[in-house]
Structure 1
């Protein structure tokens, strides 16, 4: 693994580049961008998948989102879906600049909100030839409709009214408000997945000093609530997609929605007994994902006709 930086417009991005065993810089390798969840960093699940994919012969790049981790950007702790989609494009830019990466054989794998961001990026960047989502989350839809998707989009209105009041207060000198990605003190109403997320992010299991479990309220929510990672996916996503999720994940509905709407070559793998968070670091579920993703990427990361990207 090499710690690297790369450009994203005026920002400097920080990444970990994982190389295959017996790496030979004179060869040409397929490459995969791995995209972390909201609030995550490259040292967590996206880095784990990058290292696992490198073991399978791929060059793999995990990176910190702009405004987060070791990457540049102000204000800090901004969760901007549109910027995060652009981060994926910048990571592809960097991979294409590497002499040992075949620019026609680049894929992407995204976890949780990173899965949604990967889908959105691939719809407008056909340099991504194939993609895999793991415990996919469409962050805007899940924020509006709740984790289980049982509310209407109009359920977002009270939060948006609170946002308006807070923005006025901040414009008049109040401190910027922050919200947690996962509840630090869950209760009986907290979804199981988010309880397990707290165990992942807030304990030595995966705790990292660059993952503060916080995002800016006014600047982030105003962007998140109008974002739809799957908008126009029926028509614009032309690349093959592998959708992996657990049967016991409260977020499963987003993976099945994605799979149902996509018209390009697609495969849905629902792993029996898996929860949302099991695919972050539980060996059984990570290994099963890699076992499915490796032949998928091997098959599809080849030169493709111009009309398919």
Structure 2
């Protein structure tokens, strides 16, 4: 039977947060109906009903039109986690922002639940852009997109063929295709590992073709199984997603085990040149295991482009550590302020 935990790529699936002793309290998504003019919204993505949180600037004036930003969440995440945090922070900078649950996740529709299908995630962003264009408070010619971790990679991919997106950014971009094929720093994936993964995945697909239901397993193991010898990605993911620090009841810590079959041949960053002449901003930490993805996107993109590296930050620090999120938000606000 397929067992994600036995795969070397298991710990590369989630992007999470680690806090050191004595660090500042992590930022979180503020709750309440009146937070930055927040409101629950729904929109249609083909046959799927999508759920999102729309955030308005503090000094919102209904007679004005505002630049807007779509914010996509990481694999396995939901809108109430780090994507919602960035959406709220950018709303405070004067933008209308939309954090939404991807199809198959959270309050959005889509079956089977917890399926991570890159093409669906890209279409989710495309539909979110279309939704923003319909809103009376949004300037339809000033829409940008961004995402965190895998959401960042999906946003970069979607923008390549969507001229409605006038500027695109990522925070800790995570190429789920390359990570599945080769791994990340500290967690390599060999050809043998990859073949074992595919054999297990397609073994399950054969069972489903014969009538078996989709197989869903835990994405992260219990906290009790984690120790100092565990890879840092796994330690930090569990510390965020499986504790009150970042846990949310709509993030189920599950995945459809056949999802990796959709990841192996996914190449989201190969055609970043298509975004030009629209601007691209790539944010990473200089200690991030995933910085190679931002570097790869930068290498294939054309001008105008910028790779903004935050000193001292790991990939996971950029989720909600204020000393790293604050400069990231300042840079994003500057970028979208000039580009939209």
TM-score (norm: length of structure 1): 0.92
Q: 1:281 aligns with which of 320, 323, 338?
A: 320
Runs of 4+ in 1 over 6 A off after TM superposition: none
Are 1:194 and 2:234 an aligned pair? yes
Q: How many residues align?
A: 300
Q: Distance in 2 between matches of 1:46 and 1:16?
A: 10
Are 1:256 and 2:299 an aligned pair? no
Name the counterpart of 1:141: 178
Q: 1:19 aligns with which of 37, 56, 61?
A: 56
Q: Distance in 2 between matches of 1:58 and 1:235?
A: 26
Q: Distance in 2 between matches of 1:47 and 1:236?
A: 25
Q: What do the CA deviations read for 1:213-252 (whole angstroms, capped 9, x no partner)?
A: 111012x222122111113223455421111111111111
Name the counterpart of 1:204: 244
Name the counterpart of 1:127: 164
Name the counterpart of 2:117: 80
Mind listing any 5+ residue stretches in structure 1 that lack a counterpart? 302-309
Are 1:156 and 2:194 an aligned pair? yes
TM-score (norm: length of structure 2): 0.84
Q: What do the CA deviations read for 1:91-129 (whole angstroms, capped 9, x no partner)?
A: 001100011101110111110000100011000111111
Judge conservation of contact 2:42–2:49 (CA < 8 Å) in 1. yes
Shift of 1:132: 1.2
Shift in alpha-carbon separation, 1:195–1:87, aligned structure 2, 3 A: same
Q: Structure 1 stretch 151-160 or stretch 129-138: which is displaced more? A: 151-160
Judge conservation of contact 1:183–1:195 (CA < 8 Å) in 2. no
RMSD: 1.8
Name the counterpart of 2:133: 96
